[in-house]
Amino acid sequence: MSIGKEELEAVTRVINNGCLSGYQGNWSDAFYGGPEIKALEKEWSEYFGVKHAIACNSATSGLWMACAAIGIQEQRGKDFFYSNIYDTADRVNEAISEVIVTPYSMTCSASIPLHFCAKPVFADIEPDYFCLDPKSVEEKITPATKAIIVVDLFGQPYDADAINAIAEKYSKIYGHKIYVIEDAAQAIGATYKGKYAGTLGDIGIYSLNRHKHIQCGEGGVVVTNDSAVAMRLRLEMNHAEAVCNDYDRSSTIYADGVPAYTQKPLPLGSHSLVGMNLRMTELSAAVAREQLKKLDGILKVYREYATYFHVKVRPRCEHAFYRYALTKYNHPAIYFILRNGSKLFNIKQHYITPIYQMPLFKQLGYDQHQCPVCEDVESNIILEWIKDEP
């Protein structure tokens, strides 16, 4: 990826300032991080047109934060809080909460609910766009469904209108909100009907891993328009229980010994949160800020190279083309490309084994042939990506 003098100057600025992390795990202004973190979150919110952006150390952490923030763990019985989901293959079938997930993605998109003793429920994918199939999602919803984790695979936004409508419909039927958590790790800069991927659901997660369009080595950003959810995300990321304890002692923030402002009440239920340390450093934030400035130019290159292929793009979408993904069925020149290779692109005839066929999910007793479209796509997928990525 494009790392240059701008990133070097940004890192040097942070080193010279001497503050490599401005965070503290207590109820103070430092709960929100240092100047680079605050600037990155502000710039991210403005770019993507979303109220809240929370920087963290990875998109995987962001998925964990999202599941924690919407209270999946609060739906567990006391016995589950101390139980080990790996004790028996039957344990997952006893889960109080369910989360609908895709079988065709990086494994954490499906495995994160296990951290909360929730049951991942696999829905099948679309044969042409490779994202979750709304029809299959609706077939898998039950009164136990607490969330749907959608993945904007290869840079293609999910069918937001259909899946969001399903979540809203069954939220009313079952009397509790079903959240749509959007994993936009591969789709930064993609759009659906003019809205950015990552902002299409209730919570969106971006990746700043070194393999993505823009990067800071390791990092992630979580976004939402729900202010209560945003605070819970921050608490989960930054030692929630310690922060809440400090809040109970004093609701006033002090800066250099002078009262700066009084905190608003914490969101309902926040005092039961058990948090982690999933924070981004000032160094990473400084690099991410410079990378965000380059995103438009990087996307332009990805989209120009897309003209070599026949990737099917969802109507009214702009694809981010993290990978040029197609099947042998819909690319007339694919055998020529495979036979002759390419000076411009890496080529692979495989993406990922359906997640439910991986050892962990076999151990948990999952049906090994439950998503036929996914299995067919994996047998025929062709992935290309730029050798010298911008």
Give pLDDT tens digits along the chain (390 positions): 578 999 999 999 999 999 999 999 988 889 999 999 999 999 999 999 999 999 999 999 999 999 999 988 654 444 444 345 445 445 555 558 999 999 999 999 999 999 988 999 999 999 999 999 999 999 999 999 999 999 999 999 999 999 999 999 999 999 999 999 999 999 999 999 999 999 999 999 999 999 999 999 999 999 999 998 999 999 999 999 888 877 666 555 555 555 544 555 566 566 678 899 999 999 999 999 999 999 999 999 999 999 888 899 999 999 999 999 988 765 555 555 655 556 788 888 899 999 999 999 999 999 999 999 999 999 999 898 988 776
Cα radius of gyration (the chain): 21
The answer to whether position 17 is within a domain reads yes
Q: Does any domain span residue 96?
A: yes
By residue range, what is the domain housing residue 130?
5-294
**Rounded CA gap, 133 and 153, in Å?**
12
Residue 283, domain member (yes or no): yes
For helices 35-48 and 282-305, give the axis angle rounded to 10 degrees.
30
Residue 306 lies in a domain: no
pLDDT in tens, 61-72: 999 999 999 988
Q: Is 206 helix (H, G, I), strand (E, B) or coil?
A: strand
Determine, yes or no, domain membership for 371.
Answer: no
Q: Are 135 and 384 in contact (CB under 8 A)?
A: no
- Are 72 and 320 in contact by the 8 Å Cβ rule? The answer is no
Spatial CA neighbour of 127 closest among 326, 292, 281: 326
Dihedral sign from CA coordinates of 149, 150, 151, 157:
negative
What CATH number is associated with residue 101?
3.40.640.10
Q: Quick check: is 322 in a domain?
A: no
Q: Which residues make Cβ contacts (< 8 Å) with residue 288, sequence separation at least 6?
A: 40, 55, 208, 214, 215, 216, 219, 221, 280
191: phi then psi, degrees, rounded to nearest 5: -135, 155
Q: How far is CA 345 from the centre of its chain?
A: 26
| Dihedral pair phi/psi, residue 36, rounded to 5° | -70, -40
The answer to whether residue 134 is domain-embedded is yes
- Cα separation, 351 vs 380, whole angstroms: 10
Residue 388 counted as domain residue: no
The domain tally of the chain equals 1
Please give the model's pTM, rounded to 2 decimal places: 0.91
Both structure tokens of 50: 């979303």
